Amino acid sequence: MRSEIYCDVCKNNTPHRLLNRRKNVFQCEVCNSVTELLPEKKVRVNAIISRDDRSEKAFLTLSRSETLTKGEEIVVETEKGYRLGVITSIELESGKRVELAEAGDVKTVWLRDVGEVKVRLSLHKGPVTTPYELFTSGEMEFRVGEILPIEGRKYRITRIKLINGGVLRRDGKVAKAKEIRRIYARFIR
C-alpha cells in the first residue's frame, strides 16, 4: 500500500510504502527513512445551534488540531439529525471567547442555523407597513428590484438590511437568505 506522507528527511510530501499495518510504520520511497504515523485523536465538541428564539444541543466530532473559525459554515449533529450552521461564537475551556481555535481547546461552539432560515419582511402599502415572515433555504437569493408575490399581491424589494449591518439599496444587488436581517418592499399595482 502506497500513501503520500510528509517526510521529515525530504521536507516534502513523498510516496511512502506501508511496512507494518498494526504499528502504522511507513518507509519513504525517496530517501528510505522509516516513520511511524500515529492517527490523530478525535474530540467531541459541544455545540448549540439556534434558529430564531429556539436553541438545540448538538456536537461535532473533529481532529484535535482542526481549526474552528467564527463565521465558518459547519455541519453539526443533533438528536434529530444533521444541521448546517454558521459559527457565531467559540468558547474555550477557560471560558474565554475567541474568533479562532483548535478543536482540542474548545468547550462549546455556538451556531446560527442556515439550512432553513426565517426572512423577515416589512411590506409597505401607502402609509401602512405590515410585518411578514418567510421560511426558505439559507441559500435562496433575494435581489433589490425583484418582484415578490405575497398573498396574491406583488411587492418590489426596495432595500435589504444585512445581518452584518450593511444595507443593499441599488437595483440588482443580491443577498442570500442566511445573510439577511430584513427585506423592505413596496406594494406595486
Expressed as residue numbers, the domain containing 94 is: 42-113
Convert the pLDDT of each residue in 128-154 to its tens digit.
999 999 999 999 999 999 999 999 999
Please state the φ and ψ torsions of residue 182, each to the nearest 5 degrees.
-160, 145
Convert the pLDDT of each residue in 40-68 to its tens digit.
788 999 999 998 789 999 999 998 888 99
CATH code assigned at 103: 2.40.30
Convert the pLDDT of each residue in 69-123 to its tens digit.
999 999 999 998 899 999 999 999 999 999 999 999 999 999 999 988 899 999 9
Q: Are residues 181 and 127 in the same domain?
A: yes
CB 91 within 8 A of CB 154: no
Convert the pLDDT of each residue in 10-43 to its tens digit.
998 899 998 988 888 999 999 999 988 877 788 9
When divided into structural domains, the chain yields a total of 3
Instruction: Please tell me the predicted confidence (pLDDT) of residue 53.
Output: 83
Burial 24-54 (b: 16+ CB within 10 A, else e): eebbbeeeeeebeeeeeeebebebbbebeee
Instruction: Please tell me the predicted confidence (pLDDT) of residue 92.
Output: 95
- Dig out the grid coordinates for 181 from the structure: 436581517
**Alpha-carbon distances, residue 70 vs 59, 62, 149 (angstroms):** 16, 16, 35
pLDDT at 124 over 80: yes
Residue in the structure block whose three cell numbers are 467531541:
44
pLDDT at 185 over 60: yes
Q: Are residues 170 and 122 in the same domain?
A: yes
Which burial class, exposed, middle or buried, applies to 98 when counting CB atoms under 10 A from its CB (0-12, 13-18, 19+)? Answer: middle
Convert the pLDDT of each residue in 148-171 to its tens digit.
999 999 999 999 999 999 999 999
Q: Are residues 79 and 52 in the same domain?
A: yes
Q: Are residues 95 and 52 in the same domain?
A: yes
Q: Are residues 134 and 148 in the same domain?
A: yes
Q: Are residues 15 and 59 in the same domain?
A: no
Cα four-point dihedral sign 132, 137, 141, 146: negative
